[in-house]
Amino acid sequence: MSTAVRPTARPRIEGDWFLVPAPQPHRPFRLFCFPHAGGDATAYTPLARALAPAAEVWALRPPARGGRSRHPMPPDFDALVAAVTGAIAPHLDGGRFGFYGQSFGALLAYEAARALPADRRPELVVAAAAPSPAAWTERESRDLDASELLRLTGLEEVVRAEPELVDLALAGIRTDLAVSATYRYRPHAPIGPALYAVAGADDPMLGATDLTGWAAHTRGDFGHHVVPGGHLLATVDRPGPVGLLTTLLAGRQTSVPAHDTREQQW
C-alpha cells in the first residue's frame, strides 16, 4: 500500500474570491474558510497545510484588502452574503464540502450556508469564536473600537513592528465592523447541516457558555468544544483546531462528544 504524500503544488487563486493555499490533486473534502473581521485568506495557509491531504482549504478573499484592495466591500451584510454565495455556488458540484469561520467569519459562514438552496448546503458548519446569530446583534452592535479589537484578537503583536501593517489591519477591521453593524437577525427555521461551535480556552471575548445558543440553529448534529488558543484560532502563525476539524471531516463525530466543553489538546 502506498503512503500518501502531501503535494507541493503552489497556492492558486480561484476567481476573485478564493485562495487555495495547498491544492490537492485528488479532490478531497473541500473546506471553505471565512476570515475574521479585518482578516484575509492568507490566515488559513497553516491550516490548509495541516489538513492536507485529507481536505483542501478554499479560503475566502474578502474585498477591500490584500489582493482585492481595489474591490469595494458590499454596502451591507445581506449584500455581502449574496456576493459570497454567488461566488461559492459554481464550486459546489460534486464532492463533500463544509464551512469553517471564526468570529465575524463564523456568522458569515452560517448565513452563507443558510442562503444556499437546501440541496446545496454544506454537510457541516464549524463556527469558531462567535456568539450565535440570535445573540449577535445584541453583542456586536455596540460600537467596538478597531484598535481594541486588534489588541483583543492578538493581532497587535503581529503587526506592531510595521506601522503600515497596523494601518492596513485597522482599515480592514473598520470595514468589516461597518458591515457587521448592518446585520439584523431574523428568526428562521434551523438549517439541516451538522453544526459545531468552538471557542479558545483563553478567548477574552467569548466563553464556553456563549456557544450553546448555536444549538437552536441546526436540525443536524450539534456539539460545542473548547480548545487551546485565544480569540483567533487559525492565524498566519497557527493552524488552529486541526485535530477537531480532522475528526469532523473524517465523519467520526462520535469520537468527539457532543456538548463537551472540556479543553482538548488538539
Domain harbouring 244, CATH code:
3.40.50.1820
- Mean per-residue pLDDT, 108-124: 96
Distance between CA 91 and CA 50 in Å, rounded?
Answer: 22
CA-wise closest residue to 175 among 59, 35, 19, 57: 35
Burial class (CB in 10 A: 0-12, 13-18, 19+), 3: exposed
Q: Is residue 3 part of a domain?
A: no
In a domain, 214, yes or no: yes
Domain coverage including residue 97: 12-255
Number of domains in the chain: 1
- Average pLDDT of the residues in 114-121: 96
Q: Is 233 contained in some domain?
A: yes
Q: Tell me the average pLDDT of the chain.
A: 84
Is residue 261 one of the residues assigned to a domain? no
Find the largest Cα–Cα distance for the chain: 57
Q: Is residue 1 part of a domain?
A: no
Q: pLDDT tens for residues 61-75?
A: 999 988 899 999 999
**Residue 124: helix, strand or coil by DSSP?**
strand
Q: Please list the residues that pair with 195 across neighbouring strands.
A: 125, 222
Confidence of residue 59 (pLDDT cuts 50, 70, 90): very high
Per-residue pLDDT tens for 40-53? 999 999 999 999 99
Question: What does DSSP assign to residue 202?
Answer: T
Greater pLDDT, 233 or 253: 233
105 in a domain, yes or no? yes
Assigned domain for 51 exists? yes
pLDDT at 120 > cutoff 90 = yes
In 3D, which of 31, 22, 47 has the Cα closest to residue 227?
47
2 in a domain, yes or no?
A: no
